[in-house]
Amino acid sequence: MTNPRQKKQATSKPSSKSSSAGKSGEQTQPGQPGQQASAPTTLAVPGWGVGFSGEIQLITPAPGSIDPSLSVTVHICARTNQIRTGEFSEPSTVAGIALGLEWRSPGGDPTEQRGLPGDAPSTSQMVADLVAGASALRAAALGHPQSGKLPGMVVLRPSSNYLAEGLSEWLPMWELSNWRTAQDKPIKNRTLWEAINDQVKALEAAGCKVSWSKVKKGSEEGAVGAEQLAKQMSGLSARLHVAQDQAQMQARQGKAQGSWTGASE
């Protein structure tokens, strides 16, 4: 499905959003191919080490960094798990996301897989889908893993109906309606949708064509790989949080036992 914004190419720089900044795991030099030319705009999301570095980061490609002969297809998947932390707590949701990047270039076709478990049991499937989408765009904006060049074409292949329909149908309408629904209610997960929208605009402003279409489950090798990795990441997230909760519970019990022993002496 073609991006409706391609009919009117973006010519202005993407707007900056006020957001909480975090530490960046990827240090970049201004003006290098595929990298941001100024301090990045970041968006912290509770429960996530987003973009593999702690936040969703808007990457503004440097001028002249695009390679028209280069393209990338990104398979996007997010999966959730229900866990119970604490003896009397309610079930909560943890998630993991995965990206499968298939590069196409005259110099070779490297394939990458990237996985990310959620940091805290405070997410939802919709949030996980959007984090995955934003991370996919960010990965494309960082450029080819060898040359650093920006691809002339980015094709997103999400497995999520929510992400696919939002990209294809809802985003243009939401932007025109000041991010409100037809019932004049605020858009859910607006900050994440805006992060996705801003990164698409930044890519388009650099001359990159961005398109998307939903992938059917099991229909493509890249989609199968992304789904398997996403399941692994959500499982890892669940195990980490259960183990962390058990360790905290044991520490509290030990502290309480020590207090009781001291009081009885």
Q: Domains of the chain by range and CATH? A: 33-252 (3.30.420.10)
The per-residue DSSP string of 185-236 comes to: -BPTTHHHHHHHHHHHHHHHHTT-EEEE-PPPTTSSHHHHHHHHHHHHHHHH
Cβ atoms of residues 72 and 28 within 8 Å:
no
Tell me 47's DSSP state. T
d(CA 79, CA 256): 38
Cβ atoms of residues 61 and 201 within 8 Å:
no
pLDDT tens-digit series, residues 83-128: 776 655 667 787 888 888 999 987 777 778 888 777 655 678 898 8
pLDDT exceeds 90 at position 185: yes
Amino acid 61: pLDDT: 86
pLDDT tens-digit series, residues 193-222: 999 999 999 999 999 999 999 987 666 777
d(CA 179, CA 177): 5
What single letter denotes the amino acid at residue 181?
A: T
